Amino acid sequence: MESAPYILNNVTKKKLWHINTFIFDVDGVLTDGTVIALSSGEQARSFYVKDGWAIQNAIKKGYNVAIISGGDQEGTRKRLEFLGIKDIYLGVKSKSEVYAKYCQENEVDPEKVLYMGDDLPDINVMIRSGVAACPSDAASDILEIADYISPKNGGKGAVRDVIEQVMKIQENWRQTS
């Protein structure tokens, strides 16, 4: 199967026009997947500031932003809360169940969701979302099903790229308010 191109095709552009919700995995998407094991037991991650700015911009402009991740570290939660994300689901065993519950409770149409994941635990959510996106260094199974593959790696601007793509198509990226 041929991977989705970095350049947006007309079908993908049409799908992005309707997106009002971004849902992201953490490890391999918001981070580069590196975990630093500290003697305290904390497993520290490194986040990219430009991804954070794009998330804050999206929230400010009225987009829903949520996190669904299998990892559960307090440092990660604090970073996500600092960015203004209110819907944070960490330590998740079934991303599909959390995704369905989130959409139902928040009256979010799955066709208006862009989900960005990078590995096998993300597949079931990706195929249920309006747009399945991934970083360029995602697992091969994910690259095969993605509607959009960011030219950026996880933790190195993939999140900013996909938010920017959506907001530019909707003519909402540079607007100041």
Contact predicate 156/49, CB 8 Å = no
> What would the two tokens of residue 170 be?
């909707």
Question: Please, is 36 exposed, middle or buried when counting C-beta atoms within 10 Å of its C-beta (0-12, 13-18, 19+)?
Answer: exposed
Q: 134: which DSSP letter?
A: E
Question: Please, is 56 exposed, middle or buried when counting C-beta atoms within 10 Å of its C-beta (0-12, 13-18, 19+)?
Answer: middle
From residue 68, alpha-carbon distances to 7, 26, 158, 174, 175 in Å are 27, 7, 17, 28, 28
**How many residues are there in the chain?**
177
Q: Tell me the mean pLDDT in the region 41-62.
A: 94
Q: What is residue 8's predicted lDDT score, i.e. its pLDDT? A: 64
Rg of the chain over all Cα atoms, to the nearest angstrom: 15
Nearest Cα to Cα of residue 116 among 44, 67, 72: 67
Q: What is residue 177's predicted lDDT score, i.e. its pLDDT? A: 54
Q: In this model, does residue 28 exceed pLDDT 80?
A: yes
Return d(Cα 92, Cα 88) in angstroms, integer: 10
Instruction: For tokens 């400010």, name the residue.
Output: 60
Residue 13 vs residue 34, higher pLDDT: 34
Q: What is residue 41's predicted lDDT score, i.e. its pLDDT? A: 86
pLDDT level of residue 13 (50, 70, 90 thresholds): confident
CATH of range 13-169; options 3.30.360.10, 3.40.50.10320, 3.40.50.1000, 3.20.20.140:
3.40.50.1000
Nearest Cα to Cα of residue 137 among 125, 124, 119: 119
Q: In this model, does residue 63 exceed pLDDT 90?
A: yes
